[in-house]
Protein backbone atom coordinates (compact mmCIF):
# COMPACT_ATOMS: atom_id res chain seq x y z
CA UNK A 1 0.00 0.00 0.00
CA UNK A 2 1.34 3.41 -0.91
CA UNK A 3 2.11 5.71 1.97
CA UNK A 4 0.00 8.86 2.21
CA UNK A 5 1.39 11.72 4.26
CA UNK A 6 -0.21 14.80 5.79
CA UNK A 7 1.41 18.03 7.02
CA UNK A 8 0.24 20.03 10.02
CA UNK A 9 1.45 23.44 11.10
CA UNK A 10 2.70 23.36 14.69
CA UNK A 11 3.47 26.89 15.89
CA UNK A 12 5.90 27.61 13.12
CA UNK A 13 6.91 24.03 12.34
CA UNK A 14 5.65 21.56 9.78
CA UNK A 15 4.79 18.15 11.16
CA UNK A 16 4.42 15.14 8.90
CA UNK A 17 1.90 12.54 10.01
CA UNK A 18 0.78 9.24 8.54
CA UNK A 19 -2.64 9.90 7.02
CA UNK A 20 -5.73 7.69 7.18
CA UNK A 21 -5.37 4.56 5.11
CA UNK A 22 -1.59 4.72 4.98
CA UNK A 23 0.70 1.82 5.76
CA UNK A 24 1.75 2.33 9.38
CA UNK A 25 4.93 0.32 8.76
CA UNK A 26 6.28 3.41 7.02
CA UNK A 27 6.69 5.10 10.41
CA UNK A 28 10.07 6.48 11.57
CA UNK A 29 12.65 3.68 11.68
CA UNK A 30 14.33 4.79 14.90
CA UNK A 31 13.53 2.88 18.09
CA UNK A 32 14.84 4.92 21.01
CA UNK A 33 14.52 3.86 24.61
CA UNK A 34 11.60 5.96 25.79
CA UNK A 35 12.78 7.53 29.05
CA UNK A 36 16.48 7.73 28.23
CA UNK A 37 16.29 9.35 24.79
CA UNK A 38 15.85 12.94 23.65
CA UNK A 39 12.31 13.94 22.63
CA UNK A 40 11.33 12.51 19.26
CA UNK A 41 8.12 13.24 17.37
CA UNK A 42 6.29 10.31 15.75
CA UNK A 43 2.82 11.78 15.41
CA UNK A 44 -0.12 9.75 14.10
CA UNK A 45 -3.67 11.03 13.58
CA UNK A 46 -6.58 9.38 15.35
CA UNK A 47 -7.82 6.16 13.78
CA UNK A 48 -4.46 4.49 13.11
CA UNK A 49 -4.03 2.47 16.32
CA UNK A 50 -3.47 -1.26 15.75
CA UNK A 51 -5.88 -1.93 18.61
CA UNK A 52 -9.48 -1.41 17.59
CA UNK A 53 -12.73 -1.72 19.52
CA UNK A 54 -12.37 -5.48 19.94
CA UNK A 55 -10.13 -6.93 22.65
CA UNK A 56 -6.77 -8.10 21.25
CA UNK A 57 -4.01 -9.90 23.14
CA UNK A 58 -0.44 -8.56 23.40
CA UNK A 59 2.46 -10.45 24.97
CA UNK A 60 4.59 -9.14 27.83
CA UNK A 61 8.23 -9.26 26.70
CA UNK A 62 10.00 -7.12 29.32
CA UNK A 63 9.43 -5.69 32.78
CA UNK A 64 11.62 -3.15 34.55
CA UNK A 65 11.06 -1.81 38.06
CA UNK A 66 11.93 1.90 37.87
CA UNK A 67 10.70 2.79 41.38
CA UNK A 68 9.76 0.68 44.39
CA UNK A 69 6.11 0.85 43.37
CA UNK A 70 6.39 1.64 39.65
CA UNK A 71 7.32 -0.52 36.67
CA UNK A 72 7.72 -0.16 32.92
CA UNK A 73 6.09 -3.06 31.07
CA UNK A 74 6.91 -3.72 27.43
CA UNK A 75 4.37 -5.56 25.29
CA UNK A 76 4.82 -7.03 21.83
CA UNK A 77 2.22 -6.12 19.22
CA UNK A 78 0.41 -8.80 17.19
CA UNK A 79 2.11 -7.40 14.07
CA UNK A 80 5.75 -6.76 14.97
CA UNK A 81 6.41 -4.87 11.73
CA UNK A 82 4.25 -1.91 12.74
CA UNK A 83 4.18 0.67 15.54
CA UNK A 84 1.23 1.03 17.89
CA UNK A 85 -0.09 3.90 15.79
CA UNK A 86 -1.73 5.66 18.73
CA UNK A 87 -2.49 9.36 18.40
CA UNK A 88 -0.77 11.80 20.76
CA UNK A 89 -1.90 11.62 24.41
CA UNK A 90 -4.57 9.00 23.68
CA UNK A 91 -4.95 5.94 25.89
CA UNK A 92 -5.69 2.26 25.46
CA UNK A 93 -7.73 -0.02 27.72
CA UNK A 94 -6.26 -3.10 29.42
CA UNK A 95 -8.42 -5.99 30.64
CA UNK A 96 -8.19 -9.18 32.65
CA UNK A 97 -10.89 -11.41 34.11
CA UNK A 98 -11.21 -11.98 37.86
CA UNK A 99 -13.82 -14.32 39.29
CA UNK A 100 -15.81 -14.13 36.08
CA UNK A 101 -15.85 -10.33 35.96
CA UNK A 102 -13.78 -8.07 33.70
CA UNK A 103 -11.35 -5.62 35.29
CA UNK A 104 -10.61 -2.76 32.87
CA UNK A 105 -8.25 0.20 33.29
CA UNK A 106 -6.95 2.93 30.92
CA UNK A 107 -3.24 3.44 30.27
CA UNK A 108 -1.40 5.93 28.08
CA UNK A 109 1.78 4.36 26.70
CA UNK A 110 4.99 6.26 27.36
CA UNK A 111 6.56 4.94 24.14
CA UNK A 112 5.96 6.72 20.85
CA UNK A 113 5.22 5.45 17.37
CA UNK A 114 8.96 5.40 16.73
CA UNK A 115 8.97 2.06 18.57
CA UNK A 116 8.23 -0.70 16.08
CA UNK A 117 6.39 -3.87 17.10
CA UNK A 118 6.20 -3.00 20.80
CA UNK A 119 4.88 -0.43 23.26
CA UNK A 120 5.67 0.53 26.86
CA UNK A 121 3.35 1.20 29.79
CA UNK A 122 4.31 3.02 32.98
CA UNK A 123 2.40 1.25 35.76
CA UNK A 124 2.03 2.48 39.32
CA UNK A 125 1.52 -0.53 41.61
CA UNK A 126 -1.09 0.07 44.30
CA UNK A 127 -1.57 -2.27 47.26
CA UNK A 128 -5.31 -2.44 46.60
CA UNK A 129 -5.15 -1.91 42.83
CA UNK A 130 -6.62 -4.92 41.04
CA UNK A 131 -5.15 -4.15 37.62
CA UNK A 132 -1.76 -2.91 38.82
CA UNK A 133 -1.33 -5.94 41.08
CA UNK A 134 -2.25 -8.20 38.18
CA UNK A 135 0.21 -6.53 35.81
CA UNK A 136 2.94 -6.55 38.45
CA UNK A 137 2.52 -10.30 38.88
CA UNK A 138 2.62 -11.13 35.18
CA UNK A 139 5.37 -13.42 33.95
CA UNK A 140 7.28 -12.72 30.75
CA UNK A 141 5.41 -14.45 27.92
CA UNK A 142 2.00 -13.85 29.46
CA UNK A 143 -0.57 -11.86 27.52
CA UNK A 144 -2.98 -9.03 28.31
CA UNK A 145 -5.97 -7.95 26.25
CA UNK A 146 -6.09 -4.37 24.96
CA UNK A 147 -8.42 -2.22 22.91
CA UNK A 148 -8.73 1.42 21.84
CA UNK A 149 -11.98 3.35 21.49
CA UNK A 150 -12.61 6.82 19.98
CA UNK A 151 -13.67 8.21 23.38
CA UNK A 152 -10.08 7.81 24.56
CA UNK A 153 -8.74 10.28 22.01
CA UNK A 154 -8.19 13.69 23.60
CA UNK A 155 -6.74 16.92 22.23
CA UNK A 156 -4.37 16.33 19.31
CA UNK A 157 -1.03 17.83 18.37
CA UNK A 158 -0.34 20.59 17.35
CA UNK A 159 -1.50 22.37 20.48
CA UNK A 160 -1.80 26.06 21.40
CA UNK A 161 1.36 28.23 21.39
CA UNK A 162 1.46 28.11 25.22
CA UNK A 163 0.76 24.88 27.11
CA UNK A 164 0.38 24.57 30.86
CA UNK A 165 0.44 21.12 32.48
CA UNK A 166 -0.99 20.35 35.93
CA UNK A 167 0.05 16.80 36.69
CA UNK A 168 -0.16 14.29 39.51
CA UNK A 169 1.50 10.87 39.77
CA UNK A 170 1.13 8.65 36.70
CA UNK A 171 -0.69 11.51 34.98
CA UNK A 172 2.77 12.20 33.61
CA UNK A 173 2.31 9.46 30.96
CA UNK A 174 0.21 11.42 28.42
CA UNK A 175 2.36 14.48 29.08
CA UNK A 176 5.44 12.51 28.03
CA UNK A 177 3.62 11.88 24.76
CA UNK A 178 2.81 15.58 24.38
CA UNK A 179 6.39 16.61 25.17
CA UNK A 180 7.78 14.17 22.61
CA UNK A 181 5.58 15.79 19.95
CA UNK A 182 6.32 19.38 20.96
CA UNK A 183 10.02 19.22 21.79
CA UNK A 184 10.80 16.60 19.16
CA UNK A 185 9.38 18.59 16.25
CA UNK A 186 11.95 20.74 14.47
CA UNK A 187 11.10 24.47 14.53
CA UNK A 188 8.10 24.08 16.83
CA UNK A 189 8.09 27.08 19.16
CA UNK A 190 5.44 25.94 21.68
CA UNK A 191 6.27 26.94 25.27
CA UNK A 192 5.41 24.39 27.97
CA UNK A 193 5.16 24.97 31.73
CA UNK A 194 4.52 22.03 34.07
CA UNK A 195 3.55 21.77 37.73
CA UNK A 196 4.03 18.16 38.78
CA UNK A 197 2.55 17.01 42.10
CA UNK A 198 3.84 13.95 43.96
CA UNK A 199 3.61 12.78 47.57
CA UNK A 200 7.35 12.48 48.28
CA UNK A 201 10.53 12.93 46.24
CA UNK A 202 10.89 9.18 45.71
CA UNK A 203 7.48 9.14 43.99
CA UNK A 204 8.48 11.52 41.20
CA UNK A 205 8.29 9.61 37.92
CA UNK A 206 10.57 10.30 34.94
CA UNK A 207 12.36 13.02 36.93
CA UNK A 208 15.70 12.61 35.16
CA UNK A 209 13.98 12.60 31.78
CA UNK A 210 12.07 15.79 32.52
CA UNK A 211 15.20 17.50 33.83
CA UNK A 212 17.18 16.53 30.74
CA UNK A 213 14.46 17.68 28.37
CA UNK A 214 14.09 20.98 30.21
CA UNK A 215 17.85 21.56 30.09
CA UNK A 216 17.99 20.98 26.34
CA UNK A 217 14.83 22.95 25.49
CA UNK A 218 16.47 26.40 25.48
CA UNK A 219 13.85 27.66 27.91
CA UNK A 220 10.79 26.32 26.09
CA UNK A 221 10.00 23.71 28.76
CA UNK A 222 10.01 24.23 32.52
CA UNK A 223 8.98 21.77 35.23
CA UNK A 224 8.40 22.57 38.90
CA UNK A 225 7.71 19.78 41.39
CA UNK A 226 5.31 20.05 44.33
CA UNK A 227 5.46 17.52 47.19
CA UNK A 228 2.48 17.04 49.50
CA UNK A 229 3.88 14.56 52.06
CA UNK A 230 7.64 15.15 52.05
CA UNK A 231 8.94 14.92 55.65
CA UNK A 232 9.47 18.25 57.40
CA UNK A 233 13.12 17.43 58.07
CA UNK A 234 13.81 16.62 54.41
CA UNK A 235 16.30 18.89 52.59
CA UNK A 236 13.82 19.18 49.69
CA UNK A 237 14.23 22.77 48.41
CA UNK A 238 11.13 22.92 46.25
CA UNK A 239 7.44 23.63 46.77
CA UNK A 240 5.42 21.69 49.33
CA UNK A 241 1.72 21.04 49.74
CA UNK A 242 -0.84 20.93 46.94
CA UNK A 243 -0.99 22.82 43.65
CA UNK A 244 -2.45 26.21 44.55
CA UNK A 245 -3.64 29.27 42.68
CA UNK A 246 -0.45 31.04 43.73
CA UNK A 247 1.73 28.33 42.17
CA UNK A 248 -0.31 28.37 38.97
CA UNK A 249 -0.07 32.16 38.71
CA UNK A 250 3.70 31.98 39.25
CA UNK A 251 4.53 29.18 36.83
CA UNK A 252 1.81 28.66 34.19
CA UNK A 253 0.67 30.96 31.38
CA UNK A 254 -2.16 33.37 32.13
CA UNK A 255 -5.61 32.69 30.60
CA UNK A 256 -5.07 34.41 27.24
CA UNK A 257 -6.41 33.22 23.87
CA UNK A 258 -3.18 31.41 22.95
CA UNK A 259 -3.16 29.08 25.98
CA UNK A 260 -4.29 25.53 26.72
CA UNK A 261 -4.08 23.82 30.11
CA UNK A 262 -3.75 20.03 30.48
CA UNK A 263 -4.88 18.41 33.74
CA UNK A 264 -4.07 14.78 34.50
CA UNK A 265 -3.92 13.18 37.93
CA UNK A 266 -5.99 11.65 40.74
CA UNK A 267 -9.67 12.56 41.32
CA UNK A 268 -8.88 15.04 44.08
CA UNK A 269 -6.74 17.06 41.70
CA UNK A 270 -9.60 17.44 39.23
CA UNK A 271 -12.00 18.44 41.99
CA UNK A 272 -9.65 21.15 43.22
CA UNK A 273 -8.42 22.51 39.90
CA UNK A 274 -11.09 22.08 37.25
CA UNK A 275 -14.05 19.92 38.28
CA UNK A 276 -14.70 16.21 37.64
CA UNK A 277 -12.86 14.49 34.83
CA UNK A 278 -16.10 13.03 33.44
CA UNK A 279 -17.51 16.54 32.93
CA UNK A 280 -15.17 17.83 30.18
CA UNK A 281 -17.48 20.69 29.18
CA UNK A 282 -17.80 22.01 32.73
CA UNK A 283 -15.04 24.03 34.37
CA UNK A 284 -14.99 24.57 38.12
CA UNK A 285 -12.40 25.04 40.84
CA UNK A 286 -9.22 27.10 40.81
CA UNK A 287 -8.86 27.34 37.02
CA UNK A 288 -12.40 28.68 36.62
CA UNK A 289 -11.77 31.22 39.37
CA UNK A 290 -8.63 32.36 37.57
CA UNK A 291 -10.51 33.11 34.35
CA UNK A 292 -9.67 30.12 32.17
CA UNK A 293 -12.53 28.77 30.06
CA UNK A 294 -13.72 25.19 29.60
CA UNK A 295 -12.41 25.32 26.02
CA UNK A 296 -8.92 26.09 27.32
CA UNK A 297 -8.76 23.20 29.81
CA UNK A 298 -8.32 19.58 28.74
CA UNK A 299 -9.11 16.93 31.37
CA UNK A 300 -7.19 13.75 30.58
- 65 has binding-site annotation: no
Q: What phi-psi label fits residue 45: left (phi over 0), alpha (psi between -120 and 50 degrees) or beta?
A: beta
Per the annotation, does 228 bind a ligand?
Answer: no
- The answer to whether 294 touches 255, Cβ cutoff 8 Å, is no
Q: Is 124 annotated as a binding residue?
A: yes
Taking CB atoms within 8 Å and a gap of at least 24, the contacts of 210-217 are 212/38, 213/38, 213/39, 213/179, 213/183, 216/38, 217/183
The answer to whether 122 is annotated as binding is yes
Rounded-to-integer distance, Cα 167 and Cα 174, Å: 10
Residue 299 assigned ligand-binding role: no
- Burial class, 264, CB count within 10 angstroms (exposed 0-12 / middle 13-18 / buried 19+): buried
The answer to the question of whether 4 is labelled as a binding residue is no
Does 107 appear as a known binding residue? yes
Which residues are annotated as part of the binding site for FAD?
Answer: 105-107, 122, 124, 131-132
Which residues are annotated as part of the binding site?
Answer: 105-107, 122, 124, 131-132
Amino acid sequence: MATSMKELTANGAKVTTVANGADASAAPPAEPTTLSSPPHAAVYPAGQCVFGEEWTAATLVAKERCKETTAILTFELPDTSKPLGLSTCACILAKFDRDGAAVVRPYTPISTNAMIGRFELLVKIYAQGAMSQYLDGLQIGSSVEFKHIPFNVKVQYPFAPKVGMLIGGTGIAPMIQALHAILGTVDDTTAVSMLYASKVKEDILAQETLEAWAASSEGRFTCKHVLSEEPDDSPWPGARGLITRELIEAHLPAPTDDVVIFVCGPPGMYESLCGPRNEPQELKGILAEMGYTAEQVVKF
